């Protein structure tokens, strides 16, 4: 039995060979808890829940880490707009995400670390990168020097000279506009933590590199997330971790989006479909079937019609099982899945 996975970094399907025989370590970029989740958010968690369950079925001991980004620009902006503490907004939406994962039958992760709980690990990583000449501090910010890392942009297959790096407000003193912030200097009224370079808060990319290092070590098997995270997030994670001395992830797996009218489902487009509302109108198992049936690397174009088709398809499965039970009586669940199903699951 060989399991094969599409590796984004290799741009091909590869045989999966775990670092530790019989074990699989997975890090999945989880929720940024600025708002309650729509089904586009939950697809990633569901797809990797299926992957995790399949590895377990195949006899592997799986360690599954899914983080929570509980501090970022949007959470702080909502705190100001609503006159509420930033942590209150984050925790409320973290609970909403967990309720959505639970509703759709996703297993809880082995560990679910919050970014704000791992500032010491981030400081340690920044200190190491500065000492190795890969990062520098200026005006209370800490930046990663992208030209210091020769492998930068290999995951997203871009050219550095053509790169436009997203930049945030207050990111002053960069040596190169493409350098990215690992730590952001404190602004009046914003949450901040003390570091050797001044008070501030973490940059998004640093959080995941530090948490993956803490819970999975210098090397681990699979890093996952949505396609939109390949750049800049995953590219910057790789640069930080490998420049720090980690081998980091050996395989990169990315799920496709849920779209509406051809556009990625997102709050900014105003086209989100909240899970909390959808479960009032659709059985959660039908939503799981709808999101889990398409191949994880294929786009799902959301529509009521497609959901109704999924509902009918799942009803046919239930009807078949019910007829079997009525005819033969209750039966023990099968220990083995059909060979053709197993072959497909093993092959990405």
Q: What is the pLDDT of residues 50-90, one digit of tens each?
A: 999 999 999 999 999 999 999 999 999 999 999 999 999 99
Q: What is the pLDDT of residues 100-128, one digit of tens each?
A: 999 999 999 999 999 999 999 999 999 99
Q: Name residue, tokens 């942009």.
A: 153
Question: What is the enclosing helix (H) or strand (E) of 181?
Answer: strand 180-185
Give the whole-angstrom CA distance, residue 150 versus residue 18: 26
Q: Residues 277, 32, 236, 269: what is their CA dihedral angle, to the nearest 10 degrees?
A: 40
Q: Which residues contact 234 (CB under 8 A, 6 or more apart)?
A: 29, 155, 156, 223, 225, 252
- Comparing 17 with 166, the larger pLDDT belongs to 17
Q: What is the pLDDT of residues 302-312, one digit of tens each?
A: 999 999 999 99
Q: Name residue, tokens 């669940």.
A: 333
Secondary structure of 119-175 as H, E, C letters: HHHHHHHHHHHHHCCCEEEECCEEEECHHHCCCCCCCCCCCHHHCCCCCCCCCCCCC
User: Could you give the 3-state DSSP secondary structure of residue 227?
Assistant: helix
Q: Using alpha carbons only, give the angle 294, 296, 298 rounded to the nearest 5 degrees.
A: 70
What CA–CA distances, in Å, run from 299 to 235, 252, 256, 292? 22, 18, 5, 12
Is the pLDDT at 20 greater than 90? The verdict is yes
Q: What is the pLDDT of residues 272-299, one digit of tens each?
A: 799 999 999 999 999 999 999 999 999 9
Q: How many residues does the chain have?
A: 348
Instruction: Give the pairing type, strands 23-28 and 61-66.
Output: parallel
Alpha-carbon dihedral sign for residues 176, 177, 183, 184: positive
Domain 20-112+256-331: give its CATH code.
3.40.50.620
pTM: 0.95
What residue spans define the domains of the chain? 20-112+256-331
Tokens read off for 119: 């500032």
């Amino acid at each position: 039995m060989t399991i094969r996975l599409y590796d984004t970094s290799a741009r091909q399907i590869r045989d999966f060979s775990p670092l530790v025989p019989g074990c699989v370590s997975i890090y999945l970029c989880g929720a940024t808890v600025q708002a309650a989740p729509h089904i586009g958010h939950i697809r990633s968690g569901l797809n990797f829940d299926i992957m995790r369950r399949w590895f377990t079925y195949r006899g592997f001991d799986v360690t599954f880490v899914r983080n929570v980004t509980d501090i970022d620009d949007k959470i702080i902006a909502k705190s100001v707009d609503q006159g509420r503490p930033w942590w209150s907004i984050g925790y409320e939406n973290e609970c909403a995400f967990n309720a959505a994962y639970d509703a759709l039958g996703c297993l809880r992760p082995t560990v679910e670390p919050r970014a704000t709980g791992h500032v010491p690990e981030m400081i340690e990583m920044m200190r190491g990168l500065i000492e190795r000449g890969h990062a520098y501090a200026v005006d209370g910010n800490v930046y990663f020097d992208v030209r210091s890392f020769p492998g930068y942009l290999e995951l997203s297959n871009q050219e550095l000279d053509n790169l436009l790096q997203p930049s945030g407000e207050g990111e002053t003193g960069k040596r190169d506009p493409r350098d990215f912030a690992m730590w952001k200097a404190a602004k009046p009224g914003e949450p901040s933590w003390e570091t050797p370079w001044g008070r501030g808060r973490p940059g998004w990319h640093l959080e995941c590199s530090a948490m993956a290092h803490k819970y999975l070590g210098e090397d681990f098997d699979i890093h996952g997330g949505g396609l939109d995270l390949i750049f800049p997030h995953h590219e910057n994670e790789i640069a930080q971790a490998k420049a720090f001395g980690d081998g980091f992830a050996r395989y990169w797996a990315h799920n496709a989006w849920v779209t509406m009218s051809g556009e990625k489902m997102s709050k900014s487009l105003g086209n989100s479909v909240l899970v909390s509302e959808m479960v009032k109108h659709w059985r959660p198992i039908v939503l799981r079937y709808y999101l889990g049936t398409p191949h994880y690397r294929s786009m799902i174009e959301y529509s009521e019609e497609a959901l109704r088709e999924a509902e009918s398809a799942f009803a046919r499965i239930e009807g078949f099982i019910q007829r079997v039970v009525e005819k033969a009586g209750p039966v023990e669940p099968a220990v083995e899945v059909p060979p053709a199903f197993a072959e497909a699951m093993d092959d990405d």
